[in-house]
Amino acid sequence: MLNKPFKLLGKEIPAGSKTVLDLEIAKLHTRTTVKVPVIIERSIVDGPVILLMAGLHGDEVNGVGIIREIIQQKLNKPKAGTIICLPVFNIFGYLFHSREFPDGRDLNRVFPGNANGSLASQFAHQFTTEIAPYVDYVIDYHTGGGERDNVSQIRIHPNEVDTLKLAEIFNPPFIIKSNYISKSVRFTLNKMGKTILLFEGGKANELNKEIIAEGVKGTKNILVHLGFIDGEIQLKRETIFIENSKWQRASHSGMFQAVVKNGSFIKKKEIIGYIQDPFGEFKKKVTATHDAYIFCINRTPIVNKGDAIFHLGTQ
């Protein structure tokens, strides 16, 4: 069956074509318009629509690297359906290596947005009204915030069986069950009846080769499974499911060093790091509070007492 007429951002996108559109989000007071490129590849054959998006937090560039790689490997050219790539969502943050919008807002906390709201809210509104309604599936790529280094993982809502099935096909090292955050894009898309996978890998301001390879491999599995592209689904490991998670916090302030591999299983009381003062007077062991998998490590060299340093997960 041939692909039906499809309109995005007010423009007809012909079947069997590649179209690059601009999501026009704002006109700055300097008269500069701010445009975000949206790359749309349509097959002539009918099928679902998937959106791959990254850079919602502008400094989380691993996701930008994943989509770039997908485009370069031409994995976004579907044999059926439509693949939309939005590699740099928060283009302001991306330019300034910052998580937030210029108005200081976290774009992922203002959805579904408002046409008359803050700059970030206007942007969210455009996405919610002009792109989101036309897609069936979304993969949203993130990293840990700041120095928080996440093992490659998919986050899903505990009650969503269909999404869980897709997450398993993505085949990440970890699947973390986590509830929706109010006003996040994931929350809004779910309310609109869309299927969304949230990928997290690495930390902000890095292009991590292993994380990017993991993101590309998982995305390819999803694209093959949903019939967008030909290929083989690679299931290379048994995914670890995390049902409950808890942050372990710094017991002291000082220079922090983790001595455990991210993603590893640790036993209660095992030494997982050290906190020391700069004067050679104290060196405190950080020991695991309980048996768990470590799926995020704070890589910051200096911590304050109470800072989250290890994210521990149990099955």
Which residue ranges make up the site for Zn ion (CB under 5 A)?
57, 60, 142
Q: How far is CA 181 from CA 27, 67, 111, 186, in A?
A: 30, 24, 10, 8
Residue 54 vs 83, nearer CB to Zn ion = 54
Are the beta carbons of 213 and 147 closer than 8 angstroms? no
Q: How far is CA 242 from CA 167, 175, 236, 284, in A?
A: 13, 6, 19, 29
Q: Least distance to Zn ion from the beta carbon of 84, Å?
A: 19
Residue 47 vs 58, nearer CB to Zn ion = 58
Return the structure tokens found at 195.
Answer: 């299927």
Residue 113 vs 254, nearer CB to Zn ion = 113
Phi then psi dihedrals of residue 35, to 5 deg:
-120, 140
Q: Least distance to Zn ion from the beta carbon of 272, Å?
A: 25
Q: Least distance to Zn ion from the beta carbon of 138, Å?
A: 14
Whole-number Å distance between alpha carbons of 202 and 62: 7
Residue 123 vs 228, nearer CB to Zn ion = 123
Contacts of 209 (CB under 8 A, 6+ apart): none
Contacts of 195 (CB under 8 A, 6+ apart): 136, 137, 138, 162, 163, 166
Q: Least distance to Zn ion from the beta carbon of 142, Å?
A: 3
**Residue closest to 57 by CA, chosen among 103, 19, 85, 89:** 89
Whole-number Å distance between alpha carbons of 26 and 191: 26
Residue 13 vs 53, nearer CB to Zn ion = 53
Q: Least distance to Zn ion from the beta carbon of 211, Å?
A: 13
> Position 172: which residue type?
P
Q: Least distance to Zn ion from the beta carbon of 61, Å?
A: 11
Residue 197 vs 226, nearer CB to Zn ion = 197
Whole-number Å distance between alpha carbons of 159 and 49: 24
Four-residue CA torsion sign, 157, 158, 164, 170: positive
Return the structure tokens found at 301.
Answer: 């060299």
Q: Least distance to Zn ion from the beta carbon of 56, Å?
A: 6
Residue 60 vs 100, nearer CB to Zn ion = 60
